[in-house]
Amino acid sequence: MKTRSGPLNILLTGGGGFIGSHVADAYLRAGHRVTVVDNLSTGKVSNLNKRAQFFQEDIRSATLDTIVRQFRFDVINHHAAHIDLRHSVTNPWHDAEVNILGTLNLLECACRYGIKRVIFASTGGAIYGDQGPYPTPESCPARPVSPYGVAKLAGEHYLHYYQTVHQLRAVTLRYANVYGPRQDPRGEAGVVAIFIHRLLHGERPTIFGDGCQTRDFVFVGDIVRANLLALDYLNENSGDSDPLVVNVGTGQELSVNELSCLLKKLRSSVPEAIYAPPKPGEQRRSALDPSRAKRMLGWEPLVPLEGGLKETWDWFRDGLR
């Protein structure tokens, strides 16, 4: 997919990560110049596009100022984050250092060097907390029940401040549960990747709680299109008084038990899941209403769940060969 924007000089934080690396690929295909900043704490060198300029730096570092001053970017796309929700519960201090102070450092750099356009990767489920209606619209009050959700909401509020006071324009993309190729199966984030990895190795996946908790699973390719369309929006709309905040999800709830059943269909013989006690800080239900994204960006999910799961399964399977 090509953007309607002319060639732009883009700073992409977290461009070595699962989602960020796909966004980098798409921006480069669209003819933009991309500089990636990633400390590789969770990102991978193998994810980096060789056509992108790369700096292995932390977004909290003073070196970020030097990079932004030197290259004078047109747009910042901010994907670098501490994304482990459960770890944020056990260590909220570290989560806040990265997701709040790191974001603040980036926005201060933007103001110092005249960067007026920002795309911010936020979270849908973790910001709304356990409240209806489902699917949840952006008008629903933000009531996060994890430090990760609190930190992402703080980032959104900072964007409002910087747009009001410093005329920085922003699009915030509140992601549902993203899955797809390159997702890291190690750690606690990304249930699709974790389940597929274990099943392909003949191991039993673990379901925490009763498995009836629901999530809104959106394919990474659809997320990439939202980031492309956000560029067009920022290029074509200059008079906004507030940052645009949109949900990027399918609007469909799927339980973890249902996800397990769908993945079993991709292989003739797979081990049964193990059930374990629920984890603190996890929500019971989550689904995002994407209608504002369609109205404002022209975005809607295109990849059906079973097709996306099959593509993800094949990617993990091919990596074992």
- At residue 2 the predicted structure's pLDDT band, cuts being 50, 70 and 90, is low
When pLDDT is averaged across residues 16-35 and rounded to a whole number, the result is 98
Q: Is the peptide bond before 133 cis (omega within 30 degrees of 0)?
A: yes
At residue 223, the 3 state secondary structure works out as helix
- At residue 240 the predicted structure's pLDDT band, cuts being 50, 70 and 90, is low
Interior angle at CA 58, CA 53 and CA 59, nearest 5: 90
Q: What structural domains does the chain harbor? A: 9-179+218-251+288-302 (3.40.50.720)
Tens of pLDDT, residues 268-308: 777 889 999 988 767 889 999 999 999 999 999 999 999 99
| Identified catalytic residue from 27, 128, 148, 175 | 148
| Residues 6+ away with beta carbon under 8 Å from 91 | none
Q: Is the pLDDT of residue 110 over 70?
A: yes
Q: Is the peptide bond before 290 cis (omega within 30 degrees of 0)?
A: no
Looking at residue 271, what is its pLDDT? 82
Query: 99: which 2 tokens?
Result: 């997701």
H/E stretch holding 173 reads strand 169-175
Residue pair 134/287 in contact (Cβ under 8 Å)? The answer is yes
Whether pTM exceeds 0.85: yes
- At residue 3 the predicted structure's pLDDT band, cuts being 50, 70 and 90, is low
Looking at residue 56, what is its pLDDT? 98
Q: Is the pLDDT of residue 255 over 60?
A: yes
User: Any catalytic annotation for residue 148?
Assistant: yes
CA distances from 61 to 18, 24, 39, 73, 264 (A): 22, 22, 10, 18, 44
Looking at residue 320, what is its pLDDT? 77
When pLDDT is averaged across residues 40-64 and rounded to a whole number, the result is 97
